């Protein structure tokens, strides 16, 4: 919930270009959820599962679809995409301070870096040699960029993220490992946001590249030579192995694991905890996880799975007998 500014309902209607119904002088001083909002706050309804909360909300107004306005007894802003338009309202109320433009005095900056004057480098950031940071980009405190990392314009990187660390490259020499030097870079294009404690490894030879408009959540691991297409969104705790390519406009659910040297085409949605072991060549929704169930049922199923090969062989034998 926020309470920084005040708008009338008619002012909000003009600012986000939405029609409204109800008292135009309704005062909106902040935002809140359907169940948590109080008088003076704006809420929204997008997911139909929460429609039952609408008659009980204490909010002063609500953003919702034309189909749902008949269920509201309070003023409404009518939207084709309530979640998107509510996000626009949130931006109006968001007054959290950004780091000041420029470089915080505690940051450590390497040699031969190119940092745009409008960029924001927070406290205790570490920027390696030959890095480039574009206009209006923002590094929150304790971000680390290894040497030669390239950031475009309007890139946001949250605290603890590490870009350009060595990829996991090792060659077997008998009973020991020999490190494979990682000579590529990390290249981040314009308008990308990277969550806290996410790591993006530099390429072994070619660059690791994150294209324009990508959104990456907290605690994501992106290995060397990965390519992620424009406007793809990746939720928390995803692991992407090396030399994988993910297309444009993909959605990757939390906890998903993607094998190395895999190609995923544009427009793919991977639901949470999915394991991807081979390339995906057709757009669509893909899943592989078994949902939680009572332990006893899971144990029975596990026992049966162990006998699956045996059952398959029995069915094959029976089919052969039927053909005789």
Residue 139 CB neighbours (<10 A): 31
Annotated catalytic residue, options 116, 130, 224, 231: 224
Alpha carbon dihedral 265, 269, 273, 279, in 10-degree steps, equals -20
Calpha distance 272→216 (Å, rounded): 15
Calpha distance 203→132 (Å, rounded): 17
Residue 105 CB neighbours (<10 A): 6
Q: Which residues contact 128 (CB under 8 A, 6 or more apart)?
A: 110, 145, 146, 147, 148, 149, 164
CA angle 37, 42, 47 (to 5 degrees): 80
Query: What is the 8-class DSSP label of residue 282?
Result: S
176 within 8 A of 197, measured Cβ to Cβ: no
Nearest to 194 by CA among 182, 208, 184, 181: 208
The residue written with tokens 């969104």 in the block is: 233
Residue 38 CB neighbours (<10 A): 14
Instruction: Decide if 224 is catalytic.
Output: yes
Q: Output the six-digit token pair for 247.
A: 């297309």
Burial zone of 69 (CB within 10 Å; 0-12 exposed, 13-18 middle, 19+ buried): middle
The residue written with tokens 């909106």 in the block is: 28
Q: Which residues are tagged catalytic?
A: 224
């Amino acid at each position: 919930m926020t309470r920084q500014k005040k708008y009338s309902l008619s002012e909000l209607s003009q600012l986000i270009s939405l029609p409204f119904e109800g008292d135009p002088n309704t005062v909106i001083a902040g935002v809140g959820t359907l169940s948590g909002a109080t008088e003076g706050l704006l809420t929204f309804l997008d997911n139909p599962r929460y429609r039952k909360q609408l008659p009980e909300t204490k909010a002063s107004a609500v953003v919702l679809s034309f189909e749902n306005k008949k269920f509201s007894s309070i003023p409404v802003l009518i939207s084709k995409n309530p979640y998107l338009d509510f996000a626009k309202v949130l931006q109006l109320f968001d007054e959290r301070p950004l780091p000041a433009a420029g470089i915080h005095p505690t940051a450590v900056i390497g040699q031969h870096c190119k940092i745009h004057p409008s960029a924001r480098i927070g406290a205790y950031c570490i920027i390696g040699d030959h890095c480039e940071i574009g206009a209006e980009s923002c590094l929150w405190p304790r971000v680390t960029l290894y040497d030669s990392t390239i950031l475009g314009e309007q890139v946001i990187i949250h605290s603890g993220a590490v870009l350009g660390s060595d990829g996991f490259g090792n060659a077997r020499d008998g009973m020991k490992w020999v490190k494979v030097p990682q000579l590529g870079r990390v290249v981040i294009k314009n308008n990308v946001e990277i969550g806290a404690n996410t790591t993006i490894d530099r390429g072994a030879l070619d660059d690791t590249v994150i294209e324009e408009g990508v959104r990456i959540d907290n605690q994501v691991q992106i290995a060397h030579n990965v390519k992620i297409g424009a406007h793809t969104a990746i939720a928390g705790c995803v692991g992407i192995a090396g030399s994988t390519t993910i297309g444009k406009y993909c959605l990757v659910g939390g906890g998903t694991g993607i094998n190395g040297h895999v190609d995923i085409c544009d427009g793919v949605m991977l639901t949470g905890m999915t394991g991807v072991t081979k390339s995906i060549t057709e757009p669509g929704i893909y899943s592989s996880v078994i949902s939680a169930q009572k332990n006893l049922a899971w144990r029975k199923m596990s026992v049966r799975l162990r006998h699956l090969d045996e059952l398959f062989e029995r069915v094959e034998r029976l089919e052969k007998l039927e053909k005789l």
